[in-house]
Amino acid sequence: MSYSVTKSSPFLIPPSAPTPSSTLPLSSIDKTAAPRVTVEFIQVFRHGQEPTNAIKEAFAKALVYYYPVAGRIVESNPGEPEIECSGEGIWFVEASANCSLEDVNQLDRPLRIPKEELLPHPPKDVKIEDCILLAQVTEFTCGGFTVGICFSHTVFDGQGAAQFMKAVGEMARRFPKPTTPPVWSRESIPDPPKPPHGPSPSFTVLKLETSIVEISQQSISNIKDEFTRDTNQWCSTFDVVTAMLWKCRAKAISSSLKPDDEVRLNVTASTRHLLHDILPSVNGYYGNCVYPIAMAKSINEINKTSLVEVVSLIRDAKEAFKTRFVDWMMGGLKDTHYNMPCGYGNLAVSDWTSLGFNEVDYGWGAPSFVFTLNDDANTIPFAIYLKPPAPKQGIRLMLRCAEKEHSKVLCDELLKLA
């Protein structure tokens, strides 16, 4: 059987009450961390009752409080985006599938419905890069539904976007207002002097493959226990999984690099806990609060280093990043800190497990599964950490960090630890 989705034409959902008209600045982090990047993800819910209408109304109510999201990204001066609070609203698509979620394996990989069918798209004459958020609700014959979201990373980081979606959920559940009041305050973030522009980075197009590997909670706990026995210190699930991945990938790609070639790890870390003296309120701020942590070792070093020692390297780098971020805010760093190196030796990781998308409740409980669909890039090898579909425990790795000749080796090495 062919599974398909019937979609309405996109239409605007404006705020349900009048909102201020103004132009708002973006922060220096907004403008440099992820300029004009659109992030895509899907929330899967196994049951609901007329969810489309409830979520439409909820967006309209949430936009009263988050009124900048109803506006557009504009650039009066090239390279200096800002938000025009026009009150236009978000683009929304109503959709229905001709199958149940069970028919398509709860939308687990590999997808049996093309991702384009589950995600919203604006009208052809509208640039998605100018939009702040778009949404699509797709209802399935079983009574389940999905919420497909595209959001601008220029305006939100993952935690900020999840905060907005939680507010939508609260409005759908008839809360009088969001429990966390939104905070804009982008002008409070320091804007340190920018270093001179060097040559534009050269991008090598890689032939990366997408793979899924699941790491069990028991395996993670075992390595945590081993780390504590050896060091008398504590480590996080993120530390353990990242050490596994960095070490296994180094071994998998060794055949294509020289023993002394560097393998770099780039982690996107939240800086909210470092902004209490900068923002009027960290709780509620939904702009970008991210800063990169970079580590580099030779292939030889990583291959010879134990897993516990790699965990220690990651923890040390996380500790050092706090000082580095504060130095950057004070104008003490002169490097282009957000420019991520390219090349096959590099690996970027992003942890989605604790952002908050898995906690959004539109009235029928939390989603059974949340997954991102930004998995078609071929310039920077990356991995995203997700919660596996309920009721599974552990961490799901969505890998797009190895070419075909190394992908199976990487997965096999990870499965030895999983």
Query: Residue 100 has which token pair?
Result: 């149940």
Sequence-separated (6 or more) residues with CB below 8 Å from residue 268: 290, 291, 292, 293, 348, 349, 350
Delimit the domains of the chain by residue range: 5-187, 208-417
208-417 architecture in CATH?
Answer: 2-Layer Sandwich (3.30)
Domains 5-187 and 208-417 share a fold: yes
5-187 architecture in CATH?
Answer: 2-Layer Sandwich (3.30)
d(CA 115, CA 99) in angstroms, rounded, equals: 15
pLDDT digits (tens, 9 = 90+) for 61-111: 999 999 999 999 999 888 889 999 999 999 999 999 999 999 999 999 889
Sequence-separated (6 or more) residues with CB below 8 Å from residue 370: 41, 42, 43, 44, 352, 357, 358, 386, 387
d(CA 11, CA 343) in angstroms, rounded, equals: 41
Query: Residue 240 has which token pair?
Result: 């353990």
Which uninterrupted H or E stretch holds 28? helix 28-33
- pLDDT for 340 equals 62
- pLDDT for 195 equals 59
Residue with tokens 């090495």: 413
Active site residues: 153, 361
d(CA 244, CA 247) in angstroms, rounded, equals: 5
Give 226-258 as a 3 state SS string: HHHHHHCCCCCHHHHHHHHHHHHHHHHCHHHCC
Instruction: Kindly list the strands in the beta sheet with 23-25, ordered across the sheet, starting from the edge strand earlier in the chain.
Output: 23-25, 80-84, 72-77
pTM, full prediction: 0.94
- Inter-residue contact 270 to 286 (CB < 8 Å): no
Which uninterrupted H or E stretch holds 303? helix 299-304
Sequence-separated (6 or more) residues with CB below 8 Å from residue 126: 91
- pLDDT for 192 equals 82
Query: Residue 278 has which token pair?
Result: 């900068």
- Say how many CA atoms lie within 13 Å of 116 toward its Cβ: 2
Query: Residue 328 has which token pair?
Result: 């950057």
∠ CA 18-283-388, nearest 5°, is 100
Sequence-separated (6 or more) residues with CB below 8 Å from residue 52: 94, 137, 139, 145
- pLDDT for 216 equals 96
- pLDDT for 339 equals 59
SS3 content of the chain, % helix, strand, coil (to 5): 35, 25, 45
**Count of Cβ atoms closer than 10 Å to residue 360 Cβ:** 23
Cα diameter, the chain: 62
- pLDDT for 203 equals 65
Work out whether strand 90-97 and strand 145-152 pair parallel, antiparallel, or are unpaired: unpaired
Backbone angles phi, psi at 211, to 5 degrees: -135, 155
- pLDDT for 230 equals 97
Give pLDDT < 50 ranges for the chain: none
